[in-house]
A and B are shown apart, each in its own frame.
Chain A
Amino acid sequence: SQQGEEDPQALSIQEGENATMNCSYKTSINNLQWYRQNSGRGLVHLILIRSNEREKHSGRLRVTLDTSKKSSSLLITASRAADTASYFCATEPYYNQGGKLIFGQGTELSVKP
């Protein structure tokens, strides 16, 4: 069952602005992952943050994790038109039935040039 909630559902910004997406989940986790999906394509892995980590960076991406609040955020700085895509958080539950992931509802990001 879906356990992740993301907000906003849709986000429209201008190129150069920062984009922040939030994700909440319900159960204990091993890790939380962020993926990107371009329209009609598969998912591309962006960042994985472990349950004992609080912040992680990769290029223009910054992910935070607050396990006490069961929430995470993805920040994309200096956004580009090419960042236009859907972004999903996914959690690997602590009970980890074979590594399966539970996906959030996703945020549709539109970056206007």
Chain B
Amino acid sequence: GAVVSQHPSWVICKSGTSVKIECRSLDFQATTMFWYRQFPKQSLMLMATSNEGSKATYEQGVEKDKFLINHASLTLSTLTVTSAHPEDSSFYICSARRPNFGNQPQHFGDGTRLSIL
């Protein structure tokens, strides 16, 4: 069964709306989770690393105030796209990795398709 659950699967909303996406680790406690963005026919771009109990680490070029990340528990990280605009429309995917073990794969959620009208 799924190791990482992502919700919602898709969102359609008006420009200016803030949208929250949840990523839950079902099988283990994830001290670190990752948020990616994917455009059609393209690869995954890492947006930020979500750290439980501390601030997220954002990749260069990603606006912290635009993409708010909260990792308040060991099983839940949320990504909030604030005041979303059409250019924020994309496929957002989260992942989690078992902690404290080297050479482990990441487990991915099924993604959230965000469409801003």
A-side residues, CB < 8 A to B, are: 1-2, 4, 30-31, 33, 35, 40-45, 48, 50, 88, 92, 97-106, 108
Cα distance A58–B32 in the bound complex, in angstroms = 27
B-side residues, CB < 8 A to A, are: 4, 6, 32, 34, 41-46, 49, 51, 57, 60, 91, 93, 95, 97, 102-111, 113
Q: For B105, what are the chain A residues with a Cβ–Cβ distance below 8 Å?
A: 33, 45, 48
Q: For B102, what are the chain A residues with a Cβ–Cβ distance below 8 Å?
A: 30
Majority SS at the chain B contact face:
strand
Cα distance A78–B91 in the bound complex, in angstroms = 32
Contact of A88 among B44, B107, B110 (CB under 8 A): B44
Cα distance A79–B57 in the bound complex, in angstroms = 40
A2 touches B106 (CB 8 A): no
A31 touches B103 (CB 8 A): yes
B103 touches A44 (CB 8 A): no
Contact of A103 among B32, B43, B49, B103 (CB under 8 A): B43
Cα distance A35–B34 in the bound complex, in angstroms = 16
B49 touches A42 (CB 8 A): no
Closest to B105 in A: A45
B34 touches A100 (CB 8 A): yes
Could you pull out 27 A-B pairs where Cβ atoms are within 8 angstroms?
Answer: A30-B102, A33-B106, A41-B111, A42-B6, A42-B93, A42-B108, A42-B110, A43-B95, A43-B106, A43-B108, A44-B108, A45-B106, A45-B107, A45-B108, A48-B103, A48-B105, A50-B103, A92-B103, A98-B49, A98-B51, A99-B97, A100-B34, A100-B46, A101-B106, A102-B46, A104-B43, A108-B41
Q: A98-B57, A101-B106 are in contact. Are A2 and B51 (CB under 8 A)?
A: no
Cβ-closest 3 pairs across A and B: A42-B108, A45-B105, A43-B108
Closest to B99 in A: A99
